[in-house]
Amino acid sequence: MRRALVIFVVLVTASCVSFQYQREIVECEPRAAVVEGLLAGTTELEDVLVALGAPIDVWEGANGNPVLAYGGLRSREWNVEVSVPIADSGSASLSYSDTTAKTRGTIFVFDAELHLQIVRSGLLGDLRQTFARRRPASIDDGDDGAKRP
């Protein structure tokens, strides 16, 4: 009797509560031994490309000089999804994700002569904020379409 009740509860909740275990693999982080061999001051852009291949991202650093980013993502997470019917024709969903993974990697910052100046490892999103060129903000048009002075 109790077993039947458990099965019944499982079947009922299946329609509104679900769990998901997911692993995500995106590209590969560069090997630490290779990165350690690329030294600021003596390495050029060509050396980095030969050693590590194509970066996953390239952006404009300070003074318009290139920044190369290498990295990858290895994440494991549990998701819980709750779906509750609120009307005859629809339902409301709530999803909670315990995501701890972000893309980690290494960036290589070059000078105008394409000599390596800085090597930094960490979360690529944070590194990009720190090492991307900041351009002056444009002046938006007003609501009436007229240019601000």
Comparing CB distances to another protein, the nearer of 101 and 123 is 101
CB atoms within 10 A of CB 68: 21
Report the site for another protein in 1-20 (rule: CB under 8 A): 10-11, 13-14, 17-20
Answer for which of 1, 42, 63, 134 binds another protein (CB under 8 A) is 63
23 near another protein, rule: CB under 8 A? yes
CA distance 17 to 15: 6
Comparing CB distances to another protein, the nearer of 76 and 102 is 76
71 near another protein, rule: CB under 8 A? no
Cα dihedral value 63, 64, 68, 72, nearest 10: 90
Residue 30 C-alpha from the chain's centroid:
16
Q: φ, ψ for residue 129 (rounded to 5)?
A: -60, -35
Report the site for another protein in 107-126 (rule: CB under 8 A): 112
